[in-house]
Amino acid sequence: MALAGFPFEESLCRRAVLREFLPGISLQVCQADDLVVLKAFAGRSKDWMDIENVLVRQGDRLDWDYILKELKPLVELKEAPEALVHLERLRRSVE
């Protein structure tokens, strides 16, 4: 759930898509690129495992320019630049 308190969250909500999970049951979900940003910003161990799974599944379909553009100001706000380093290391490991 996003509250759209940050510009990134507004973008995430605009980019969300409706996916049908079961006949007649649809949910609005974020794009994989946005999920990577959210998970890297949270930065818990489970989040990094989730990111690795997204990277493996999505491969070249991820928009790295978008991910880095959105993530950089968030990690600066959080004063956690190591998230960018960790993400880049993870990205190289799955290529």
> What residue spans define the domains of the chain?
31-94
Instruction: For residue range 5-37, list pLDDT tens digits in order.
Output: 678 888 888 999 999 999 999 999 999 999 999
| pLDDT at residue 46, rounded to an integer | 98
For the chain, what percent of residues have pLDDT higher than 90? 83
Dig out the tokens for 66 from the structure. Answer: 């978008």
Query: In sequence order, what are the residues at sequence separation of 6 or more whose Cβ sits closer than 8 angstroms to the Cβ of residue 39?
Result: 47, 48, 50, 51, 54
For residues 74 and 88, what is the distance between their CA atoms, to the nearest angstrom? Answer: 16
Q: Is the pLDDT of residue 42 over 80?
A: yes
For every residue of 50-84, DSSP letters joined together read HHHHHHHHHGGGS-HHHHHHHHHHHHHHHT-THHH
Query: In sequence order, what are the residues at sequence separation of 6 or more whose Cβ sits closer than 8 angstroms to the Cβ of residue 10?
Result: 4
For residues 95 and 70, what is the distance between their CA atoms, to the nearest angstrom? Answer: 22
